[in-house]
Structure 1
Amino acid sequence: MADSFNFELVSPERLLVSGSVSEVVIPATEGEMTVMANHAPTMTTIKPGIVTVKTADGKKDRYVVFGGFADIIPTGCTLLAESAVHVDEFNSDDITRRIDVARKELEHVKSDDQKFGIETYLAELTTLQGIVMPV
């Protein structure tokens, strides 16, 4: 049996998860990352994606997040999300709205850095849209 650790998923609206888990997969900016007990201390930014939480009894839960950051220590992980919701409560209109806003912002960018950032965000949203709302 895998060791457990404390995990908290917090959004500005509410605390979504707080408890002992065996594994968490987070959409870190540099790629998906699996966090387990005794993980090396790490801080990472989070991109739009799915957080998968596995409890000690093997049950899995999934949450849609839109950015944020995670603080990981050997005894726990706290993910502070810009926005987060359980996958069952996800509203497909939300991701469509975010894509539309990003596309409009892209029309008015002034620098290459801004353009790159928005294009990257659009790619992440589009990927997330394909995961959460498969055709």
Structure 2
Amino acid sequence: MADGLKFDLVSPERLLFSEIVESVVVPGTEGYLTVLANHAPLMTTLRPGVIEIKAQSGTVTRFFVGGGLVDINASGLTILADEAMGAEQMTSDYLSERIRVSREDADNTGIDYITRTTARQRVSDLEDVQRWILPA
């Protein structure tokens, strides 16, 4: 895999990562997917989770993403994240607060069914991240 995969991770604030890498594991809405060089074109959405980037040297870098869009094309992989931060920056307090707010939305009978269902899924996704990044 001499050519590698061009990967860009963009948050609303800035470009967080831009390199040629070996692979990227992405938390797609339908499940995790691994993207390598010459991947078939695909557009999908992200769920809250962890992106795992494997450099051509073999080192692994992880980022938390709160959701967003994934674009895989002939140029490479671009992720436009709603929010993103290095996994090492993630704190238990931050995730706990995000889970609390999502639970409030999930329990709010004054909002529509789709919004409540989305909030329930977000709680589940964030709890998975909490177990993976911040093991007890």
Q: TM-score range by the shorter chain?
A: over 0.9
Please give the alpha-carbon distance, in whole angstroms, between the structure 1 residues aligned to 2:75 and 2:56.
15
Query: Who is 1:115 aligned against?
Result: 116
Where structure 1 has 5 or more consecutive residues not aligned to the other structure, the ranges are: none
Conserved? CA contact 2:8–2:77, under 8 Å: yes
Q: Which amino acid aligns with 1:92?
A: S
Please give the alpha-carbon distance, in whole angstroms, between the structure 2 residues aligned to 1:108 and 1:57.
48
Length, aligned pairs only: 135
Measured on the aligned residues, the alpha-carbon RMSD in Å equals: 1.4
Deviations 1:8-62 (A, max 9, x none): 0111122111011110000000000000111111001000111011111111111
Q: Percent identity?
A: 40
The correspondence of residues 63-102 of structure 1 with structure 2, limited to 5 A, is 63-102=63-102
Please give the alpha-carbon distance, in whole angstroms, between the structure 2 residues aligned to 1:11 and 1:41.
22
Query: Who is 1:23 aligned against?
Result: 23
State the secondary structure of the residue aligned to 2:108.
coil
Conserved? CA contact 1:37–1:75, under 8 Å: no
State the secondary structure of the residue aligned to 1:118.
helix
Conserved? CA contact 2:107–2:116, under 8 Å: no
Please give the alpha-carbon distance, in whole angstroms, between the structure 2 residues aligned to 1:111 and 1:96.
24
Q: Which amino acid aligns with 1:19?
A: E
Please give the alpha-carbon distance, in whole angstroms, between the structure 1 residues aligned to 2:10 and 2:63.
11
Conserved? CA contact 2:106–2:117, under 8 Å: no
Please give the alpha-carbon distance, in whole angstroms, between the structure 1 residues aligned to 2:3 and 2:115.
42
Q: Which amino acid aligns with 1:124?
A: D
Q: 1:3: how far off?
A: 3.8
The alignment's TM-score, normalised by the length of structure 1, stands at: 0.93
Q: Which amino acid aligns with 2:124?
A: A
Q: More displaced, 77-86 or 113-122?
A: 113-122
